[in-house]
Each structure stands twice: as C-alpha cells, then as structure tokens.
Amino acid sequence: MLSRLLPHPFLTALLAIVWSLLVNEIKLGTIVFGVFLGLLIPIATAAYWPNRPPVGRPVKLFSYMMIVVWDILVANVVVAMIVLFKSNKDMRPKWVVIPLELRTPEAITMLAGTITLTPGTVSADLSEDGKALLVHALDAENADDVCADIKHRYERRLKEIFE
C-alpha cells in the first residue's frame, strides 16, 4: 500500500524541494502544494517507471553530484578564458569516442548528461550497441586524455553507484 502511495520517495522529496525553490518563498501553502505535487507526479507517472534504477550507494551519488557541480564551476571559468583569450585558429576541438563499461541505461544517461552539462564538452551520440559514447570537446590537446579523464572522473564513480 505504501509503495503505491509513495512509488518514488526520493523523487517525491526532490519535487517538493524544487517546487519550494521555484516559488522562492517558504510558506505553509507552498510546502503543502510542493508535497502534493511530490505525491501526485510520481503516482501519475508510475506506469512509465516499471523498474527503479538500482542505486546501490546513495552517499556516493551525493558525492558524485558535488564533484559534477565543482567541475561545472571550474569548466565555466576555463571556457570563459578560452572564449576571451584564444582565437579560433588556436582552439583544438576534438571528437572523442569513450568506450563504456557502464551497461544500465540510467547510468549511461547520467554520464551523457554530466558530460553535456559540463561546459566545453557535449555528448553527441551513443553507439547502437550502447558500448561507446561520442563526445565533442571544445579545446583538447589529446583525445586520449579527455577519454581517460571522463572514464576516471565520472564513469568509475557511476559504476560504483549503479552496479
């Protein structure tokens, strides 16, 4: 019974918090409506979530999110410096193929989203068999270094979280 009322408790809490942040005020009505949305949306979309993604270590997920936020902040500064101080002919854009060890769609989606959210890189394509991700880097000396950095910084952590 509780699982039908609260099919995704983390999503419920997240939706309630996001609603309160969007409204930009903490009042009883805002919190009640946020909780109402947090309960209603997961129930209404439960049919589209037949299996929950396995998150084995939520603490590692939180640390992963903090690393991604830090990397986004640093990459913003780096990209700003590239845009301001490098000419187009000095830039070294690269297409990089990242061989994936991740197998779950949720983990691959998080990796692709992380890469795209980080300024200076964009996930462009996933191979048909799901074993490689095509990434474009705005300015990179060596494609192998970009690949190694993504695998070490993100994919390794996502494997720990999802598998």
The answer to whether residues 44 and 121 belong to one domain is: no
- Mean pLDDT, the chain, integer: 89
The tens digit of pLDDT for each residue in 106-152 reads 899 999 999 999 999 999 999 999 999 999 999 999 999 999 999 99
The answer to whether residues 125 and 76 belong to one domain is: yes
Question: CATH number of the domain that 90 lies in?
Answer: 3.30.70
CB neighbours (10 Å) of residue 18?
13
How many separate domains does the chain show?
2
CA distance 9 to 14: 9
The answer to whether residues 117 and 75 belong to one domain is: yes
The answer to whether residues 129 and 66 belong to one domain is: yes
Specify if 102 maps to a domain. Answer: yes
Return the higher-pLDDT residue of 52 and 136. 136
Both tokens assigned to 109:
């989606």
Yes or no: say if 31 and 16 are a contact pair by the CB < 8 Å rule.
yes
The answer to whether residues 27 and 77 belong to one domain is: no
Half-sphere exposure in the Cβ direction for 4 (13 Å, CA): 1
pTM of the model: 0.75
CA distance 119 to 76: 6
Q: Is the pLDDT of residue 60 over 70?
A: yes
Residue 86's domain comprises 58-162
Nearest to 134 by CA among 84, 98, 94: 98
The answer to whether residues 77 and 152 belong to one domain is: yes
Q: Please name the amino acid found at residue 83.
A: V
Specify if 53 maps to a domain. Answer: no
Q: Please name the amino acid found at residue 47.
A: A
